[in-house]
Structure 1
Amino acid sequence: MTNEEGPTADSPDESPAAGSPDECAPAGSLLLDDQLCFALYAAQRAVTGAYRPLLEALGLTYPQYLVMLVLWERGKLTVKELAGTLRLDYGTMSPLLKRLESAGLVRRERSALDERSVLVAVTGRGEELRERAECVPSALLAGTRLTADEVARLRADLRRLTSMLPAVSTPK
């Protein structure tokens, strides 16, 4: 049942779903340049592109570099811990780790404590690569022409945005 003002409380089938476009504020814009998602997408592609030549010199792709960063920082981890840290699924992690293992940079082994868990650790060759990779962050920072404070602020804003997004409902 509806009245002249719209759906009534006793007619749930006619009320818009939570987060539906019917509930959106009309102030939103559908212009591409007004979209936060596009600004983030374009920035991500630009940053990843800036990393490419730096990482090619190391023989790494950007996702492989991220795996190595986590392992250099934290040491031996399970595949599950790595996937969670990098926000990747197992279907993505497995081939990534396989390629890193083939390159001799990491080794995978079953956990002695839990046969279902696979541990990933950096090899000696992977540790040697760490020394060569130490120049990557400063080279990328120089390429952005941002100050260290600007980068820190941007990183903090992006982390805050990331932490807030699970609470946002998507339109159906």
Structure 2
Amino acid sequence: MTDEPRLSAREMLDQLEATLSRRTRIRAVAALLAGLAGTVFVTSLWWSEPGPLPGRTHLSFALFTVFCLAWACYGGWLLTRRVPLFATEQVIAARIALVASVVTTAVAAVAAARSGTGLVAALAIGGLFVAAALALAVRAHARRAALLSRARQLTEEERP
């Protein structure tokens, strides 16, 4: 046995908070800025297009705007958190990436099929993005589950 004092679960979490804070905040600012910049860029392109646009083009611009706003909201949400997140932020980011990659792949595949060119390339490239996003989502869920399990263990060890 060692003479070092035992930390309670709350004390451990309080110590972790400071070490997680800087990295989380950098990611939050990056997501917020990228989301806002993407929103401005996509909406500027959308509204500056000359002449009437087909409905599917409006839908594509709207979807890309929503994806950018989702990243901006994610960044803003992260910046407002003052508690350990137990990898919740990674799960949310992975879900956004997965939805965005699936929808983008579907839109690209439909556009390629309608034009009669590049369907295989659209599906192959989109499939790579979907696979990467899915791998990140699985990893994020596993990491979050492990952290929550460890927090429960620490809390149970603390009880008499």
TM-score greater than 0.5 by the shorter chain: no
Using CA pairs under 8 Å that are at least 6 residues apart, name the structure with larger relative contact order, 1 or 2: 2
Higher strand fraction (1 or 2): 1
Higher helix fraction (1 or 2): 2
Q: TM-score, normalised by structure 1?
A: 0.27
Q: TM-score, normalised by structure 2?
A: 0.29
Structure (1 or 2) with the larger CA radius of gyration: 1
